[in-house]
Structures are given as structure tokens and as C-alpha cells.
Structure 1
Amino acid sequence: METEEIKLVKSLQSQNDAAFKELVTLYKERLYWHIRHIVKSHDDADDVLQNTFIKVFQNIKNFKGDSKLYSWMYRIATNESITFINQKAKKLQMSNEEVTALAIQNMKSDVYFEGDAIQLQLQEAIAKLPEKQQLVFNMKYFQDIKYKDMAEILDTSEGALKASYHIAVKKIEEYLTQD
């Protein structure tokens, strides 16, 4: 960990409100977009982001510094996003895939979605991927997260992530070029 990050973590662990505000300011946008690519909806992403920061605040004392703070928080955000989708699916008595498909369908009327038809198609293609490939594709394509950092976040090897990304790209290309 870098010295600035160590100072921030120590301040957070002593329940310093100013440090928590700084943490939110530093990471809220990146975490929001990470979450948004998973849950698709702006309102849902805001809810999950809030839950993520609550979990970070509650668990910062357990942060050991074995990984970067950012990787640790991304792992929490990823888990919170997946939990959110699972709970929503259970509540609506749907599969996770159906919940994601519904969220993509709702993007068309989402005032916060600034994409066009092609971007909607891309989201549909991503939604067809298995969960792990979705995560890897979103993190690499939209956020340009390095495989080394992704390996920490998703607790897997860089080689497995590279393979997942390659397979995801091929599947997306097939989906987008089919007639």
C-alpha cells in the first residue's frame, strides 16, 4: 500500500468522519459505474453504492492491507451488486438472467442512460454471458482495470481472467454480428 492510502485507512479505522467523506469522494464515481454495469439501473446502482459504503464503513477495521483499498472496496461492491440481483430475482420470482433482461429493457426509458441502440445491443450481448464473464468484460472494457487488480478483486488468477475476457469478446462479437 502507498503511504497516502495507509494514512487514509488508519484515519478510517479510527472512525474519522472526514476520512470517510474523503473516501467517498475519491471512489464514489468509479464504484458507481462498476455497480451500474452490473445492475444496469441508475436507481439500483445508487442503492447498491450506498450499501457498499455502509459495508466499507462497518468493516474497515478488518481491512488488513493485503490488497489495495480500492481492490477491497471493488470486491465489496461486486458482492453487493450480485447479492442485490439475487434478492431482486427472488422477490420478483425470476431468474437472475430475467432480472438483468428486464433492467436492460428498462434502460430505454431510463433518463440516466445516454446510450443509443448499439449500446443497448451491447448491454444485451453482455447480459447473455455467464456472470463471471460479465464481470470480467465490464471491468476490462468499460473501466480498463488491469488484470492484476481484477485478480485481487475477483480472487482468481490473471490467466483465468484473460481467458474469460477473450471468450466474452468472442461471444459478444457473435451476438452483435448475427442476423
Structure 2
Amino acid sequence: MIQIDDQDILRLIRKPETKNRGFRILIEQYQRRIYQVIRRMVLIHEDADDLTQNTFIKAYRHLDKFREDSGLYTWIYRIAVNETLSFLEKKKKRFFFSVDDHQEKLESYIDQPGSLDGNEIEKKLAKALLTLPEKQRLVFHLKYQEEMTYEQMAEVTGTSIGALKASYHHAVKKIEESLKSE
């Protein structure tokens, strides 16, 4: 697929006669990456699919508020992260999950055949990630899997660079401990 510049997408979106085409291009360009981000956080395909759709609906409704002080992907990514964290929090409250019950349910999902692509090491890492608080899991994902800089992470999460570095450090230590105990 040909990558289209954010400015070109925004020009299309801002004209009433090309708004829908511009938004369709925006979705085609970023949907897969946004889905992957969400899927790593929620694990379950159906939830990730719904959250991806909600993310783009929210982006569509609020495009007029996009200030262009960040890239479109960063802005949509921030929406996706906020939607996902809200979803996870609501899910815990709605089903009265204790943290341990929720983790146990997700671990059993990881063990189901076909739930995740990959080998045993990836499954162990996925389980180790479940032991982290959501914020640390997000920071680890952004740094390790998305290869974002701390500056990019600060822009996406609205968190200071120092706090992000501390969260990442704690996440790595917890993951190491979890993998060693396996």
C-alpha cells in the first residue's frame, strides 16, 4: 500500500466533497497498526476489533479538534490507548474481576490453541506481561514492541519522560523475574 502524507490526508478530510475518501485512506493507512497495539493490550481479537472500530469512530467525530501539534498516527494512537485503558478498567468493574481473576482468565486465553501466533517464548512473555500493572504493560509495549522513543511515548501518554523511564525499568525487572521463575 502506498503511504500518503498526513497533510494530504488532512486536506482531503477537511473538504466536504472528499471527507469520506480522506477518512477511508486514514483508516487504510493506520488501522492495522492500531489494531496490533490494542490486541497486545487486550489479547482477545473481538475486543481488539471493537476497540479499533471505536478508536476510528472517535477520531472521525473529533477530527476538527486535531491541532496538528503531533502526527495523525500519534493522535490516533493516543485515542486507542485511552479507549483501551478505559475498556480494561470498565471490564474489571463490570465483571467484578479481581486482578488475579482477570490475569488468570487472560492466561488461559493465551494457552488456547490458535489464540496467539508464535512459540513458547512468546507465550511466556505474554504471560509475564499480564503480571504487570496496565500502565507498565503499556510503557513496555510502546518501548519494546513499538520501538518508540521516550519523547514519543510522552506525547502519546501525556506522562513525563522520567516517569516513563521508571515504569519501563520496573516492567523489565518484573518480566525478568517472571521469566526466571518459569
Normalising by structure 1, report the TM-score.
0.89
8 Å Cα contact 1:39-1:100 kept in structure 2: no
Distance 1:86 1:96 in 2: 11
Structure 1 position 120 matched with structure 2 position 126: no
Q: Give the one of 46, 49, 52 matched to 2:49.
A: 46
Structure 1 position 172 matched with structure 2 position 175: yes
Return closer, same or farther for 1:63/1:145 CA change in 2, 3 Å cut-off: same
Write the deviation string for residues 17-54 of structure 1: whole angstroms up to 9, x where unpaired: 11111111111111111101111111111111011010
Distance 2:70 2:154 in 1: 10
After superposition, where does 1:15-26 map in structure 2 within 5 Å? 16-26=19-29
Return closer, same or farther for 1:118/1:17 CA change in 2, 3 Å cut-off: same
Tell me the C-alpha RMSD between the 2 structures.
2.0
After superposition, where does 1:65-84 map in structure 2 within 5 Å? 65-84=68-87
Once structures 1 and 2 are overlaid, which stretch shifts more, 165-174 or 104-113?
Answer: 104-113
Structure 1 position 106 matched with structure 2 position 145: no
Distance 1:105 1:112 in 2: 10
The aligned residue for residue 6 of structure 2 is 5
Structure 2: which 5+ runs fail to align?
none
Once structures 1 and 2 are overlaid, which stretch shifts more, 146-155 or 101-110?
Answer: 101-110
Instruction: Select the structure with the greater relative contact order (CA < 8 A; seq sep ≥ 6).
Output: 1
